Amino acid sequence: MLNTARMTIQNRLAVSAPEAAAMLSLSLRSIQNYIAAKKIPARKVGKRTLILVRDLEEFLRLDQPSPSREGR
């Protein structure tokens, strides 16, 4: 069942913020903070926030400080 879920997400162009959080094993709040800090590009489609899977892959290629610690 888990492999089926992974295959489904891998074939998608974009995911919601909660799906992105689950994919990266991060909290939804962390994803929202990275979006607000412009570290993860996101697009609004109606009321939904969508993140391109390729943008998540690019995000993971770089070392990322915690968005809450920036500016301290």
pLDDT by residue, tens only, the chain of 72 residues:
455 555 566 688 999 999 999 999 999 999 999 999 999 999 999 999 999 999 999 999 887 766 665 554
Instruction: Give the pLDDT of residue 49.
Output: 94
Extents of the domains making up the chain = 2-61
**Can you spell out the DSSP letters for the chain?**
-HHHHHHHHHT-SEEEHHHHHHHHT--HHHHHHHHHTTSS--EEETTEEEEEHHHHHHHHHS----TTTTT-
Instruction: Report whether 40 contacts 55 (CB < 8 A).
Output: yes
What are the angstrom distances between the C-alpha of 21 and each of 32, 33, 72? 9, 11, 24
Instruction: Give the pLDDT of residue 1.
Output: 46
Fold category of 2-61 in CATH: Multidrug-efflux Transporter Regulator; Chain: A; Domain 2 (1.10.1660)
